[in-house]
Amino acid sequence: MPIRRLPEGTINRIAAGEVVERPASVVKELVENALDAGAGRIEVVFEQGGRTLIRVRDDGSGIAPDELPLAVERHATSKLKDDDLVLISTLGFRGEALASIGAVSRLRLASRKASGDGGYEIRVEGGRAGTLRPAAVPSGTEAEVRDLFFAVPARLKFLKGERAETAESLDVIRRLAMAHPKVAFAVIAAERLALDLPRGQTPEERAEAVLGIEFMRNSVSLDARREDVSLIGFAGLPTYSRAQANQQYLFVNGRPVRDKLLAGAVRGAYADVLPAGRHPALVLFLAVPPETVDVNVHPAKAEVRFRDPGLVRGLIVGAIRQALGAERPRSSTGLSTRMWGTFRPPEPASNGFAEPAAVFEGFDRPSAPPSSSAEDHLDQPLGAVRAQLHDAFIVSQTRDGMVIVDFHAAHERLVYERLKAERAEKGVAVQPLLVPEVVDLDPASVSLIEAHAQELAVAGLAVEGFGPSAVLVREIPAILSGASVAKLVKDIADDLSAEERASSLNARVDRVLSTMACHGSVRAGRKLKPDEMNALLREMEATPHSGTCNHGRPTYVELKLADIERLFGRR
């Protein structure tokens, strides 16, 4: 076949594929245009997940009639000053969105400048532009996209169901809305108001409006800076973690991004406090000098490239860890709301105390009344121990409420933090076994243990292969003395097989330490003496991350006196 130039329409449809993958990409481009035009309010309507209709209207600058035909042409933009690709402050700049959308749908662009006289519209169908016509529009711009991909039916096959496409578009809008708290957003999907955000919010109010009050209650605020890179936002507590990473809102210079480096930094920051498979909710606004970041990597993929990725990663990991650790041990307050439901008022017919004695079942009645020093504990954040219930919980009293501690979970975290501190100082203190212990394992586990012998040694476990289906343990961490060596080794083998190969040695050792910590912790069921319990609370107060156990669950919950009083109708 001879070489020939492709017709304009074909070129446009090929280019369109880069920009317009699905309805959400159209929504993104149109809403970005509205934001670039300085809109104060943006309304989005879509039907059938955006397949049949996407309409975005704004009260921004508007487009002059003579520029409307240009706006839908390829590589026509008003946003690139002096062709400077480095200092780009607007969201769009390639001048190909409208042309691409027009190439694969029926597009109508109507606009009126506040200063000009009357509105105009232009239509584009499958890449063919019509003529400019007068139209009745309020000042601002309305872009209407009907029958998306009618011109490239192959694409239609790749669209998901209406619900999934709608969710995707809403997600795009939420992200843009989060970055522009001053702008009002209204979204109508399938004739229902799906999002309604007022004008003029602060970033905090917008985050709350988008993510909900529970997120705000269960997050810590971030404000950090390294060299000329700054980071603000909110980091969700580990106890507020999700099964999916879809509540992570990341912005670079006000632009929503989905970037591997940033996602990796977030994972690293939480590696210690969240188990695999759990993801934090968070909002991060990163500001870097524009010349140190390249946001043009891909028109639709929202990736960025930093000149100094190490600096950015370090800032994120450091800021989040510090914010989570610097908080006095704090676990989910949302849990107290959730707990609410469990404190049911008594049935009208009974007195509500079916088994009065059961409440204090398991209470380790001290032979003498609690030592007088117990009163000093009242002023501590986690209070003075009052009872041990069901051999699993400590109940303590604070000046303004009460705390219930899951002491098995809490102790596990303390042991883990102690192991990490030992390791950081002079290595994990080990205890040689008088008689090395042979642990029978399946051959796959044996080879895993052998392959990881190095990090296990760093973690204080001296272990070597002992034939194809057993290992020999010579030393264990001193803090675990008395634990079952066989159980420990089996758990570690399970953990090694579940773990990704990619993680660093440090991360792997931490994982091992975390698994070990479960074995060193006070078993639920053992009775603790009052002094031991108070000591545990005091140690929790002094230990970073102690509001969360190694598996991301809360170690304690708190009920304020006011809440208790409300429960009894005293407030």
Measure the CA–CA gap between 243 and 401, rounded to whole angstroms. 32
Contact flag: residue 97 with Mg ion (CB under 5 A):
yes
Residue 286: name its binding partner from ligand ADP, Mg ion, none (Cβ under 5 to 8 Å by kind).
none
**Residue of closest CB approach to Mg ion:** 92
**Structure-block tokens of residue 334:** 């949302």
Q: Which is nearer to ligand ADP, 33 or 521 (CB)?
A: 33
- Part in contact with ligand ADP (CB under 6 A); list of ranges 72-80, 196-204, 354-362, 383-391: 72-80
Segment 134-193, which members bind Mg ion (CB under 5 A)? none
CB of 33 to Mg ion, least distance (A): 4
Q: How far is the CB of 289 from ligand ADP (least distance, A)?
A: 23
Q: Which is nearer to ligand ADP, 34 or 319 (CB)?
A: 34
> What angle is formed at CA 206 by the lines to CA 276 and CA 273, rounded to 5 degrees?
20
Taking CB under 6 A as the criterion, the residue among 12, 33, 515, 543 binding ligand ADP is 33
Which one among 71, 194, 382, 496 touches ligand ADP, defined by CB under 6 A?
Answer: 71
Which is nearer to Mg ion, 33 or 396 (by Cβ)? 33
Distances (CA, A) of 64 to 67, 81, 89, 161: 5, 19, 22, 38
Residue 64 or 483 with smaller CB distance to ligand ADP:
64
What does the angle CA 113 – CA 114 – CA 120 come to, to the nearest 5 degrees? 35
For Mg ion (CB under 5 A), the number of binding residues is: 3
12: tokens are 């446009």
Q: Which does 78 bind (CB under 5 to 8 A by kind): ligand ADP, Mg ion, none?
A: ligand ADP
Stretch that binds ligand ADP, among 57-65, 165-173, 402-410, 473-481 (CB under 6 A): 57-65
- CA angle in degrees (0–180, nearest 5) for 413-419-420: 90
Binding to Mg ion by CB under 5 A, coded x per residue (else -) over 308-347, reads ----------------------------------------
Residue 100 interacts with Mg ion (CB under 5 A)? no
234, amino acid identity? F
Q: Which of 19, 24, 28, 33 binds Mg ion (CB under 5 A)?
A: 33
C-beta of 26 vs 509, nearer to ligand ADP? 26
Distances (CA, A) of 67 to 99, 110, 132, 272, 303: 14, 11, 10, 55, 31
- Strand-strand pairing, 282-287 and 229-236: antiparallel
**End-to-end C-alpha distance for the chain, whole angstroms:** 85
**551 lines the binding site for ligand ADP (CB under 6 A):** no
What gap in Å lies between CA 439 and CA 493, rounded to an integer? 11
| E strands in 366-419 | 384-389, 393-398, 401-406
Residues 521-540 that bind ligand ADP (CB under 6 A): none
Rounded Cα–Cα distance for residues 318 and 65 (Å): 52
Residue 110 C-beta: closest distance to ligand ADP, Å: 10
The site partner of 460 among Mg ion, ligand ADP, none (C-beta below 5 to 8 Å per kind) is none
Rule CB under 6 A: say whether 58 interacts with ligand ADP: yes
Q: Which of 97, 103, 179, 252 binds ligand ADP (CB under 6 A)?
A: 97
Q: Kindly tell me which of 78 and 292 has the beta carbon lying closer to Mg ion.
A: 78
When asked if residue 146 is in the footprint of ligand ADP (CB under 6 A), the reply is no
The stretch among 95-103, 465-473, 495-503, 546-554 that binds ligand ADP (CB under 6 A) is 95-103
Residues forming a β-bridge with 242? 279
Counting contacts by CB under 6 A, is residue 43 touching ligand ADP?
Answer: no
Binding window for ligand ADP (CB under 6 A); candidates: 59-67, 268-276, 375-383, 498-506: 59-67
In the chain, what's the furthest Cα-to-Cα distance? 101
Binding of residue 34 to ligand ADP (CB under 6 A): yes
Q: Give the tokens for residue 106.
A: 């029926």
Contacts of 202 (CB under 8 A, 6+ apart): 181
Q: How far apart are CA 301 and CA 385, in angstroms?
A: 54
Pick from Mg ion, ligand ADP, none: which does 61 bind, CB < 5 to 8 A by kind?
A: ligand ADP
> Is residue 280 within 8 Å of 270, Cβ to Cβ?
yes
Phi-psi region of 253 (alpha: psi -120 to 50; beta: other; left: phi over 0): left
Give the contacts of 91 (CB within 8 A, at least 6 positions apart): 32, 33, 35, 36, 255
**Helices (runs of H) and strands (runs of E) counted in the chain:** 19, 23
| Three-class SS state of 210 | helix
Please report which helix (H) or strand (E) contains residue 69, including its range.
helix 68-71
For ligand ADP, the closer of residues 97 and 286 by Cβ is 97
Chain residues in the site for Mg ion (CB under 5 A): 33, 92, 97
Chain residues in the site for ligand ADP (CB under 6 A): 29, 33-34, 37, 58, 60-63, 71, 76-79, 92-99, 141
